[in-house]
Structure 1
């Protein structure tokens, strides 16, 4: 099997164990949580996306990793991580918290989708070895990030019960 085919198999199969794990252990807990706490948990995971800057560190990635892919992936992750941290810092500021929650999820999901597009555009499967130590990021980390973006969007759009709205209003007012 060629490295390109192996990389593509890894990309697709990276979602399977995360979906199984997420569906069994994480999703039931997130759905049962208070809205703010659920979004805080997701923001905490995404606050580590500053790590994506590693895509532009020489010696960690190969010299032939397409710059168009590496730079966009690095800075998209970095921006998402900063927005997630801002959400965590503003959790007691109500509207500002929700603004940052929406922002990090929109920026983060767009970053991943565009990174997939760039990966295809720049022939990343054939150059997968150039990912070097970062090879594990798109295979192991990105599927969990994308799944949690979908979960965050679902939770944002899910109607809130009246009692939960009143409680959330009281928490934000204090």
Structure 2
């Protein structure tokens, strides 16, 4: 199998594995949380996106990793990670928290989509070995990041489900 086919297969299987994990474990857990706690959990995961700076580390990635991919991926990941950290720091200031949650999810998803665009145009799957130690990021980490961005956007645009305990607390009867 060619390196491009292997890379693509691993990327697809990364999505399949994380979707199965999300459906069985992560999704139900997030749904059981209040919205702020769920978004804080997602922000905590994305706060580690500073790790994307590895794409700009000579010796970690190969010297022929296309700069059109590496520079954007490194800096947009850093921006997403910082926005996620700021959201975590601002969680008690609700308006700022929600603004930062929306910001890190918008920046983060745009980053991943632009990374895919750059990777395709730079023929990155044909030279996936240039990712070096960072190979694990697009194959294992990126699928989880994309899935949690989609989950975050879904939670942001759907009205919260009122739980029986919340109904009882407001004095409403069933």
Map of 2:128 onto structure 1: 128
Map of 1:38 onto structure 2: 38
Map of 1:68 onto structure 2: 68
Map of 1:152 onto structure 2: 152
Deviation at 1:161, TM superposition (A): 4.9
Deviations, residues 68-122 of structure 1 (Å, cap 9, x unaligned): 1000000010000000000000000010000000000000000001100100000
CA contact (8 A) 1:31 1:155 kept: no
Deviation at 1:31, TM superposition (A): 1.0
SS at the partner of 2:159?
coil
Map of 1:100 onto structure 2: 100
TM-score (norm 2): 0.92
SS at the partner of 2:92?
helix
Deviation at 1:13, TM superposition (A): 1.1
Give the structure with the larger helix fraction: 1
| Displaced runs of 4 or more, over 3 A | 161-164
Give yes or no for the alignment of 1:77 onto 2:77. yes
Unaligned runs of 5+ in 1: 168-174
Map of 2:23 onto structure 1: 23
TM-score (norm 1): 0.92
